[in-house]
Amino acid sequence: MIAALSFDLDDTLWPVAPAIQHAEHCLQQWLRQRAPELAAHWLIERLRTLRDEVAARHPEIAHDYGAQRRRSLSELFADHAERERLVEDGFATFYAARNQVSLYSDAVPSLHRLGARFRLASLSNGNADLERIGLARHFEQRLSARDLGLMKPDPRVFARLCAALELAPTQVAHVGDDPDLDVRGAQRAGLFAVWLNRDGRTWPHATPPDLKVGDLDQLCAWLDAHVPEPRGVT
């Protein structure tokens, strides 16, 4: 009996690459205005490389993309007299743009439809802000790697999700686009794992997902056909 659904966010409810590219562009524009002496030497590709290098050097913040971004900016402004203020202003510019996402067309209608039957949660390795995006009201629980200090596919992440919902793993279905982080991670933790495969990829593992769908409309239709109305949902 599925009583709750948890959703990955990036590339599940919206495509993440355009949002990150937009955020990188906004950060570059901001840098040209606030520190033009650095901007000419720190184009988008070099800023991206710096962030990747910081992530590699600091595995202790692998779960926190915001901390990685701030540390990258701190290194960028290492010799600047206004280092702290520039780091916070630069991160605020990037983060505001990162949350300007374009939702998949099925996202909001499906969340409304599913929320009428199931308890909903979000479970993400990313650092999207559902309040800023306008989706927070749909989710009873909102869990992120940044707050948990752990990342999918660590089974403790899914255990924390089930504990927050006060449900057994077999009562929770997790929906996500990543075969390893979402599907295999959820399966190993005992959840019902739904692979959202929007772009027709081939499943890469021997063990299949519990359910494969091409969009959220298909998920809604399958749940309507196969899952009885959960008790306690009005």
The string of pLDDT tens digits covering residues 110-166 is 999 999 999 999 999 999 999 999 999 999 999 999 999 999 999 999 999 999 999
Domain boundaries, the chain: 4-15+104-226, 16-98
As given in the structure block, the two tokens for residue 31 are: 């840098």
Decide if pLDDT at 6 tops 80: yes
**What confidence score (pLDDT) does residue 230 get?**
55
Give 126-180 as a 3 state SS string. Answer: CCCCHHHHCCHHHCCEEEEHHHHCCCCCCHHHHHHHHHHHCCCHHHEEEEECCHH
Rounded Cα–Cα distance for residues 137 and 131 (Å) = 8
- Contact of 176 with 8, CB cutoff 8 Å: yes
- Contact of 52 with 75, CB cutoff 8 Å: no
CATH-assigned architecture of domain 4-15+104-226: 3-Layer(aba) Sandwich (3.40)
Pairing mode of beta strands 141-144, 172-176: unpaired
CATH-assigned architecture of domain 16-98: Up-down Bundle (1.20)
As given in the structure block, the two tokens for residue 29 are: 């524009």
**What confidence score (pLDDT) does residue 80 get?**
87
Q: How far is CA 70 from CA 57, 62, 75, 99, in A?
A: 14, 13, 9, 16
As given in the structure block, the two tokens for residue 84 are: 């702290």
**What confidence score (pLDDT) does residue 40 get?**
87
pLDDT tens for 31-87 read 999 999 899 889 999 999 999 999 999 999 999 999 999 999 999 999 888 999 999
**What confidence score (pLDDT) does residue 228 get?**
78
Same fold, 4-15+104-226 and 16-98: no
pLDDT tens for 14-34 read 999 999 999 999 999 999 999
As given in the structure block, the two tokens for residue 189 are: 């933790």
**What confidence score (pLDDT) does residue 71 get?**
96
For the chain, what percentages of helix, strand and coil (3-state, to nearest 5) are there? Answer: 55, 10, 35
Tell me the backbone φ, ψ of residue 207, rounded to 5 degrees: -85, 125
Decide if pLDDT at 231 tops 60: no
DSSP string, 91-124: HHHHHHHHT-----TTHHHHHHHHHTTSEEEEEE
- Contact of 193 with 170, CB cutoff 8 Å: no
Rounded Cα–Cα distance for residues 113 and 95 (Å) = 30
Name the band, by pLDDT with cuts 50, 70 and 90, for residue 99.
very high
Q: How far is CA 122 from CA 95, 137, 172, 182, 208, in A?
A: 19, 11, 12, 12, 23
**What confidence score (pLDDT) does residue 183 get?**
98
pLDDT tens for 185-227 read 999 999 999 999 999 999 999 999 999 999 999 999 999 999 8
- For 89-93, what is the mean pLDDT? 97
